[in-house]
Amino acid sequence: MSSHHMTEVARTIHELSLQRWGPASPVQVIGRHDGLVDMLNRLVQFARSDSPVLVTGETGTGKELVARALYLLADRNRKPFAKMNCAQYQEGQVIASELFGHRKGSFTGAVADHEGVFLAADGGVVFLDEIGELSLQVQAMLLRVLSEGEVVPVGGTQARRVDVRVVTATNQDLRARVASGGFRADLYYRLRYLHVQVPPLRMRGDDWELILSHHVERLAEKRATVKRFSDEALTLLRRYDWPGNVREVKALADTGFCLSQGTLIEPGHFIEALESAARLHQFHNVPLTDIVTRKYESLVNKEGSFWDLVYQPYMDRDLTRADVQAIVERGLTSVRGSYKRLLARFGVAPEDYLRFMDFLRHHRLKPDA
């Protein structure tokens, strides 16, 4: 792994993760942007405390990675790290049982005592992802853990002492949830005693390129095949705003690496893996890919039919959905949005109008699809 992808703090976190969990579960915080550096320095400071930490950020920014990094930097890193996704359980009783345990016979299916996540993680860290999904009843039970340091299992009456650090995460606006009555104010202020905001990737400069390079290197090592993104692909991606954040970069690297048959990964190999591929063509200063330009010019110069130049290559997967959308959008712009005039421009016979429109609709190829 290239060390220039990570800061000194991130390298420390990575080494600690290898010691704790081995090479199968590395914690790798990739990037060198000032916003990321500030966040990592804050984690170092927060690691000295046992107070609750609230991690906020958009979907895909790596909130669980931040929680694990915080755990590794703290003295509790030899004790358990337990994770619970609060959105995973729809019924409050079920998640209460998973978190705080239950007594045998306390509800249907409770055939034995169950200690729950908090007691199982005693001495360590409990990470509650999507904390905003907890019901008000379970919020009250969590508040007791934070304020009293004790757990009462479902169906039980006797409290048990527990020593855990609670780290929570959400992509919701918890203040708005408090205002609407969906989240307890007293719990919110306890959880937010220490707050970490994970910056979105669009606010982290060129970090996306380091992340992309890092994952391509990992894939190359794993599959013993050297590949890289072409200059055209990187130029295109520099205009993208990454709504799916780090998770989207990883998916793009996997898709591009898989679909590329040679050593270069081109736009056509990954465009449909993007969360918002159509947005790439909305920027006036982003040139259309060479294949789109060639196909469009061949159409308007009547060098071939739409069915031969676009339809069949798309069906054969030589053109991507984004390519066809770009060709159609460029044509529509030239005829002021009229599909009937577009047929004439693309050399499609009037009697094939319904076939043409059905093709676009069925495959979601209209530019606004």
Q: Where are the alpha helices (DSSP H) in 182-225?
A: 185-191, 207-223
> What is the distance between the alpha carbons of residues 237 and 201, in angstroms, rounded to a whole number?
13
Q: What is the pLDDT along the chain (369 residues), one digit of tens a residue?
A: 455 789 999 999 999 999 999 998 999 999 999 999 999 999 999 999 999 999 999 999 999 999 999 999 999 999 999 999 998 876 667 888 889 987 776 666 666 778 889 999 999 999 999 999 999 999 999 999 999 999 988 877 788 999 999 999 999 999 999 999 999 999 999 999 999 999 999 999 999 999 999 999 999 998 889 999 999 899 889 888 888 899 999 989 999 999 988 899 998 888 777 755 445 444 433 444 567 888 888 898 888 899 999 998 888 777 778 888 889 988 888 888 888 889 989 999 988 888 899 888 888 888 764
Tell me where in the chain the CATH 3.40.50.300 domain(s) lie: 3-199
DSSP letters along 98-157, please? Answer: HHH-B-TTSSTT--S-B-HHHHHTTTSEEEEESGGG--HHHHHHHHHHHHHSEE--BT--
Contact present, 3 and 11 (Cβ < 8 Å): yes
Q: In what order do the strands lie in the sheet with 165-170?
A: 81-85, 125-129, 165-170, 53-56, 194-197
How many CA atoms, within 13 angstroms, populate the side-chain half-sphere of residue 113?
A: 5
> What is the distance between the alpha carbons of residues 324 and 292, in angstroms, rounded to a whole number?
8
3-class DSSP assignment, residue 161: strand
Model pTM score: 0.73
**226 token code pair:** 């050297």
> What is the distance between the alpha carbons of residues 298 and 16, in angstroms, rounded to a whole number?
57
Neighbouring CB atoms inside 10 A of 315's CB total 12
CATH topology of domain 3-199: Rossmann fold (3.40.50)
Beta strands in the chain, from DSSP E residues, in sequence order: 53-56, 81-85, 125-129, 150-151, 160-161, 165-170, 194-197, 228-229, 264-265
For 159, phi and psi rounded to 5 degrees?
-80, 150
Residues 200-228: b if buried by 16+ CB within 10 A, e if exposed = bbeebeebbebbbbbbbbbbeeeeeeebb
CB-based contacts of 1: which residues, under 8 Å, 6+ apart?
14, 28, 214, 217, 218
CB-based contacts of 339: which residues, under 8 Å, 6+ apart?
332, 353, 356, 357
**136 token code pair:** 């008000």
The whole-number pLDDT of residue 326 equals 87
The whole-number pLDDT of residue 284 equals 32
> What is the distance between the alpha carbons of residues 257 and 229, in angstroms, rounded to a whole number?
9
The whole-number pLDDT of residue 314 equals 83
The whole-number pLDDT of residue 91 equals 65
Cα→Cα distances 173→205, 244, 324, Å: 25, 18, 38
> What is the distance between the alpha carbons of residues 58 and 244, in angstroms, rounded to a whole number?
8
DSSP letter, residue 60: T
Angle at 125 between CA 124 and CA 129, to 5 degrees: 160
Nearest to 130 by CA among 201, 72, 194, 59: 59
Contact present, 309 and 340 (Cβ < 8 Å): no
Nearest to 61 by CA among 248, 270, 275: 248
How long is the chain? Answer: 369
